[in-house]
Amino acid sequence: MLNTNQNRRNMSKDRLIFVSNDDGYRAKGFAAAIEVAREFGRVVAVAPAEPQSGRSQAITMYEPLFLEKHRDEPDVEVYSFTGTPVDCVKWAFDHLLLNEKVDLVVSGINHGSNSAINVLYSGTMGAAIEGSFYGCPSVGLSLTDHDPNADFEAAKHYAREIISSVLDNPLQDGKPLCLNVNVPNIPMAEINGVKVCRQCRGIWREEFYRHEDPRGKPYYWLTGSYTNYEPCAADTDEWALANGYVSVVPVQIDMTSYSQMSHLERILK
């Protein structure tokens, strides 16, 4: 996938890569994403001040947001922002980098899978999708391991390859690529390669853990498990991950169900 020429061409410091995530600026996976991104250009990174998993495309409308700068090197700036992942992207594109051309958004590397329906709940993918709203190619990266000390070596290797390819081919038909990349949590030698897939159908069924607070007031706490509706379909991201592949799903932002439009026109007549 990556040859020496591509590699050399990609190492331009003229390039600007924006990095965010949803696990917060202290996460090991965020450092891993910055480490890979800076191989390809100057990095500006803005991540949530606290973990924001499951925040989807959420924006913060009712609260002021506070910013803090954590790294200020010639080719790497890192900030934390008290909002959601999407707030981080918006602040970067509409404020800090307003007059700059961003070449790529990298979001992650997430601690935990964002395959299948998770693309819609994920703050990591929220940030990647927001990047594509701004016309910027974007790559959301996730490792299927929730451990705060997860081993990101294999994920970094594939991140590097995929980022290199996207920088060389950022658009298709004028549309920026927005990729949902998931890396299985297995030793790198056992990974079978990269597989382009579609989003698997399935659902999270929740079990609300019910308990009482110290004053006897009942509360609920979300927990759940994923049910795969099509475990045998070999073209899905879930299948790819279960079979040792890095899954890559191209994501689009038009939610229109075109196939239902004429049916709908008939029933609303």
Ranges within 178-237 binding a copy of itself (CB under 8 A): 178-180, 194, 196, 198-199, 201, 203-208, 211, 213, 217-222, 224
Q: Does 5 bind a copy of itself (CB under 8 A)?
A: no
Look at phi and psi of residue 119 and say left if phi exceeds 0, alpha if psi is from -120 to 50, else beta.
Answer: alpha
- Taking the complex as a whole, the smallest distance from the CB of residue 109 to a copy of itself amounts, in Å, to 18
Minimum CB separation of residue 76 from a copy of itself in Å reads 22
Q: Which residues between 77 and 96 bind a copy of itself (CB under 8 A)?
A: 83-84, 86-87, 90-91, 94-95
Rounded CA-CA distance 208/188 in Å is 36
C-alpha span between 133 and 20 (Å, rounded):
15
Cβ neighbours of residue 54 closer than 8 Å, sequence gap 6 or more: 22, 121, 122, 123
d(CA 32, CA 206): 31
Nearer to a copy of itself, 133 or 151 (CB): 133
In whole angstroms, how close is the CB of 186 to a copy of itself at the nearest point?
A: 20
Minimum distance from residue 142 beta carbon to a copy of itself (Å): 15
Give the amino acid at 129: I
Q: How many CA atoms lie within 13 A of 227 on its CB side?
A: 7
Segment lying near a copy of itself (by CB under 8 A), choices 28-36, 39-47, 53-61, 184-192: 53-61
Which x/- pattern over 134-153 shows residues binding a copy of itself (rule: CB under 8 A)?
x-------------------
State in angstroms the smallest separation of the CB of 203 from a copy of itself.
5
Per DSSP, the three-state class of 123 is helix
Q: Is 32 helix (H, G, I), strand (E, B) or coil?
A: helix
